[in-house]
Amino acid sequence: MDSETRKRLEQEAHRLVLAESDMRQASAAASHLRAFGAEMNGNAERALWTGMIVSYARPFLSSNKIGAVGGRLARPDEPVLRPLHSELKRLRRELAAHNDVTSDREAVDTAAMLGLGSGRFGESWRTFNTNVLPAVERLADTQEARFRRRREDVQRQLSSDGH
C-alpha cells in the first residue's frame, strides 16, 4: 500500500472512531430523555436534546477537519429512518448549534403578544416530540454499527499492509 492510501485509510479510521462515539452519545441521550426527560428541569432537558442533536449530526459536517462521514456510509440503510437523519442534521444547523432566529427558536415580544404594550422579550422555541426518541436511539445505534463495521474493515486493510 502506498503512503497516500495508508494516510487516507488512517484518517478514515480516525473519523469513524469519533463518529461511533458520537452515535453512542446520541443514543444514550435519547435513552435518558425517554426515561427521565419528563422529570428533568426544563433547561437540563433542553440541553440534553441539544447534545443529542449535535452529537448525531457532528460526523456528517463537511467543515470537520478530519472529513465528514459521507456517501452511502452516511445514509441510513432503512428508508424509514432517512427523514429523521435529515431532520436531525437540519435541527443541528437551525436550532442546536447556532444562536440564530429561526422558525424553531426566536425572541418574541411577550408584552405585545398579550396586548400589554411592547418591549418585554422572551424566548420562544419549538417543543420536542418525545415520541421520536425511540427512533433516534435506533437510528444512532444502527449508524454506530455501520461505522464500526467499516472501521474494522479499514483496520484490517491497514493491518494487512504490514506497517
Q: What is the pLDDT of residues 140-155, one digit of tens each?
A: 999 999 999 999 999 9
Question: Does 120 fall in a domain?
Answer: no
In a domain, 63, yes or no: yes
Number of domains in the chain: 1
Q: Which are the contacts of 99, defined by CB distance < 8 A and separation ≥ 6?
A: none
Q: How far apart are the first and last CA of the chain?
A: 10
DSSP 66: T
> Phi/psi of residue 68, each to 5°?
-95, 150
Q: Residue 163 — pLDDT band, cuts 50, 70, 90?
A: low
| 77 falls within a domain | yes
Higher pLDDT, 128 or 25: 25
Q: Which domain holds residue 39?
A: 3-100+130-160
Does 162 have pLDDT greater than 70? no
Which grid cell is 21? 462515539
What is the per-residue pLDDT across 80-123, written as a single tens digit (0 to 9) for each? 999 999 999 999 988 887 777 777 777 888 888 888 888 888 87
What does the pLDDT look like over 37-85, one tens digit per residue?
989 988 899 999 999 999 999 999 988 899 999 999 999 999 999 999 9
Using a 10 angstrom Cβ sphere, with 0-12 exposed, 13-18 middle and 19 or more buried, the burial of residue 136 is buried
Q: Which helix (H) or strand (E) holds 54?
A: helix 42-57
Domain for residue 150, yes or no?
yes
Please check whether residue 82 lies inside any domain of the structure: yes
60 assigned to some structural domain:
yes
Is residue 128 a contact partner of residue 49, using CB atoms and an 8 Å limit? yes
What one-character-per-residue DSSP string does 84-126 give?
HHHHHHHHIIIIIS-----SSEEEEEHHHHTTS-S--EEEEEP
Q: Is residue 154 part of a domain?
A: yes
Q: DSSP character for 128?
A: P
**108 contacts: CB under 8 Å, gap ≥ 6:** 121, 122, 123, 124
- What is the pTM (predicted TM-score) of this model? 0.88
